[in-house]
Structure 1
């Protein structure tokens, strides 16, 4: 799977059913050649007014990812 195809998917938390945002980046482990975490850009109403600040991000460990199939990425995290 290519990174570009991951960026176009919504990230949904199955703990509360809310949309978290979109994938901004991934954290790689070069020694083991695997993905360690997904870095998700959180979406909110004030996101559009943040011109000079970086958007808030959430680092989700790969152990919390339930599914990468289909049109959405399902994760299970309690705190957002």
Structure 2
């Protein structure tokens, strides 16, 4: 079992580039099925505590390769990250 707070503490790394994307800022949950659809990684642009939504990475659940003890490995081919 894993909590959202556990996910937020993990670094997210794109396996295609080796780049660290950040940490989980939010998750999308399908309220009809209760399944996680995507994780959202806040972009680096912050202003007074607010995230610029255009800088967010939305990572669909199928793109998550592995959730380890301290890192989440993802495959992002079409995004710069």
TM range, normalised to the smaller chain? Answer: 0.7 to 0.9
Instruction: Give the gaps of 5 or more residues in structure 2.
Output: none
Q: CA RMSD in A?
A: 1.7
Deviation at 1:33, TM superposition (A): 1.5
Number of residue pairs the alignment of both structures matches: 76
Name the CA shift for 1:5/1:53 in 2 (closer, same or farther; >3 Å): closer
Stretches of 4+ moved more than 4 A in 1? none
Deviation at 1:59, TM superposition (A): 0.7
Matched, 1:10 2:7: no
Instruction: Give the gaps of 5 or more residues in structure 1.
Output: none
Name the CA shift for 1:52/1:38 in 2 (closer, same or farther; >3 Å): closer
Deviations 1:5-41 (A, max 9, x none): 1001000000010100110000001211210000101
Name the CA shift for 1:73/1:52 in 2 (closer, same or farther; >3 Å): closer
What is the TM-score when the length of structure 1 is the normalising length? 0.83
- Partner of residue 38, structure 2: 37
For the residues of structure 1 that align with 2:49 and 2:69, how far apart are their CA atoms? Answer: 34
Check whether the contact 1:22–1:42 (CA below 8 A) recurs between aligned residues.
no
